[in-house]
């Protein structure tokens, strides 16, 4: 089989790239190791920057998002028993949209199916080859048969553990990484969120976040130790700790219920550079991971796809490789700013083993400065709604 762009991974990055290229007449084949049901079953973030929403509109998949997504004009920061609102609209003239990543994936799947797009599920890529020359190819196993996909370019959208980055010679790539000594224990419940917008809470016991997927589905998180296991936390134990950390006002509005899904996501900052190796391009989690505090993971994947789709369209339309040559540097400039913001938010709100009494006072001073200073609040708002591409 042959195509113009071979895409490894059918998460939002891979499907969005396929859809954007399709709308410009560029052929793609998407290879996904897992089943379609598995991909749709993954619970992920759901806070989208304005640029991500515009890109989904450009891809023709924004209709349900605009009907069902929740527009948030700010967030709340809770500490020392009080909540403080950061007003995105007033400070940075922007908003974010809450819409589950699973729903984005579903919308993209339906769009690719309606267009007759080639997406092969349970297609295990076992070889990423020839990308240092002019005949890249993907060897994969599908329905028990080993096959080859020849293409002009390969897009590695296959996540942190995927084969694409692992296929790059070690000397050609540099890894920057910080593994944090905690994770987020999250519960998904069919309950009304305790507030209209997200609440980020700093507490002596650790961080907590009151988030949501809709007006009737809540996603609640608490910081836990690196060695914790989700099964050690009963629903009751979780809610007792969450109430304590989120503050009395939010706790009074809290609806609790049995967990639909319960899991721990461990936090890390990770960047692989560069993101281009001949005719292989990395995008999304294959190239970078952020701690979830700043809501940047999905949005960074979308910005990578924007740069890569424009570069590939330019290549096929005008035979120019300028965008392809600039791809890695353009992505990394934005990635490092998002990494900085997520790192800052994480350090501001979480308790680290080394925090101590002095560190705790520094966090409180920083939080107090943030909510009292228009300049500091504006910087948070600008980064949260998304820096320009």
- Could you read off the pLDDT tens digit of each residue along the chain, which spans 389 residues? 999 999 999 999 999 999 999 999 999 999 999 999 999 887 676 899 999 999 999 999 999 999 999 999 999 999 999 999 999 999 999 999 999 889 999 999 999 999 999 999 999 999 999 999 999 999 999 999 999 999 999 999 999 999 999 999 989 999 999 999 999 999 999 999 999 999 999 999 999 999 999 999 999 999 999 999 999 999 999 999 999 999 999 999 999 999 999 999 999 999 999 999 999 999 999 999 999 999 999 999 999 999 999 999 999 999 999 999 999 999 999 999 999 999 999 999 999 999 999 999 999 999 999 999 999 999 999 999 999 98
Confidence (pLDDT) at 32: 97
* Bridge partners of residue 125, in order along the sequence: 140
Rounded to whole angstroms, the Cα distance separating 44 from 55 reads 19
Q: Are strands 74-79 and 5-8 parallel, antiparallel or unpaired?
A: unpaired
CATH homologous superfamily of 180-266+354-385: D-Amino Acid Oxidase, subunit A, domain 2 (3.30.9.10)
| H/E element, 48 | strand 47-48
Confidence (pLDDT) at 384: 98
Rounded to whole angstroms, the Cα distance separating 385 from 344 reads 16
Rounded to whole angstroms, the Cα distance separating 275 from 322 reads 15
Q: Residue for token digits 């009907």?
A: 67
Which residues does 187 contact at the CB level (< 8 Å), separation at least 6?
Answer: 218, 219, 220, 221, 235, 238, 259, 261, 262
Angle in degrees, 0-180, between the axes of helices 50-58 and 12-22, rounded to the nearest 10: 50
Q: Is the peptide bond prior to 274 cis by the omega test (within 30 degrees of 0)?
A: yes
| pTM (predicted TM-score) | 0.95
Rounded to whole angstroms, the Cα distance separating 125 from 8 reads 8
Name the segment(s) of the chain with CATH classification 3.50.50.60: 5-71+97-176+268-345
Which residues does 35 contact at the CB level (< 8 Å), separation at least 6?
Answer: 121, 122
In degrees and rounded to multiples of 5, residue 346 shows phi and psi of -65, -45
Q: Which CATH number fits domain 5-71+97-176+268-345: 3.30.565.10, 3.50.50.60, 3.40.50.620, 3.30.70.1560?
A: 3.50.50.60
Name the segment(s) of the chain with CATH classification 3.30.9.10: 180-266+354-385
Which residues are marked as active site?
A: 72, 200, 292, 296, 384
Rounded to whole angstroms, the Cα distance separating 143 from 369 reads 58
């Amino acid at each position: 089989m042959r195509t113009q762009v071979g895409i490894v991974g059918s998460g939002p990055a891979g499907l969005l790239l396929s859809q954007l290229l399709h709308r410009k007449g560029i052929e793609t084949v998407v290879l996904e190791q897992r089943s379609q049901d598995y991909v749709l079953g993954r619970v992920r973030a759901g806070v989208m920057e304005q640029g991500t929403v515009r890109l989904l509109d450009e891809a023709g998949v924004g209709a349900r998002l605009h009907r069902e997504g929740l527009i948030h004009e700010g967030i709340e920061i809770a500490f020392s028993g009080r909540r403080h609102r950061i007003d995105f609209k007033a400070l940075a003239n922007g908003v974010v949209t809450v819409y589950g990543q699973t729903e984005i994936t579903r919308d993209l799947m339906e769009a690719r199916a309606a267009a007759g797009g080639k997406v092969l599920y349970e297609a295990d890529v076992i070889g990423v080859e020839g990308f240092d020359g002019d005949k890249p190819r993907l060897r994969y196993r599908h329905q028990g048969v080993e096959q080859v996909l020849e293409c002009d370019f390969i897009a590695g959208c296959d996540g942190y553990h995927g084969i694409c980055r692992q296929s790059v010679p070690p000397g050609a790539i540099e890894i920057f990484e910080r593994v944090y000594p905690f994770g987020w224990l999250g519960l998904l419940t069919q309950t009304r969120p305790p507030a209209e917008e997200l609440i980020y809470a700093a507490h002596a016991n650790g961080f907590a976040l009151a988030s949501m997927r809709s007006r009737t589905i809540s996603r609640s998180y608490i910081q836990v130790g690196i060695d914790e296991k989700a099964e050690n936390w009963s629903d009751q134990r979780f809610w007792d700790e969450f109430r304590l950390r989120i503050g009395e006002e939010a706790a009074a509005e809290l609806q609790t219920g049995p967990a639909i899904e319960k899991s721990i996501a461990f936090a890390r900052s990770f960047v692989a550079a560069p993101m281009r190796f001949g005719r292989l391009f990395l995008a999304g989690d294959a190239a970078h991971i952020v701690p979830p505090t700043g809501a940047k993971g999905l949005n960074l994947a979308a910005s990578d796809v924007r740069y890569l789709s424009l570069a590939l369209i330019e290549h096929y339309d005008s035979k120019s490789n300028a965008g392809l040559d600039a791809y890695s540097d353009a992505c990394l400039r934005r990635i490092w700013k998002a990494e900085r913001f997520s790192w800052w938010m994480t350090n501001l709100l979480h308790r680290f083993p080394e925090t101590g009494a002095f560190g705790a006072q520094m966090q409180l001073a920083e939080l107090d400065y943030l909510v009292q200073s228009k300049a500091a609040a504006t910087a948070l708002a600008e980064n949260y709604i998304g820096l320009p591409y």
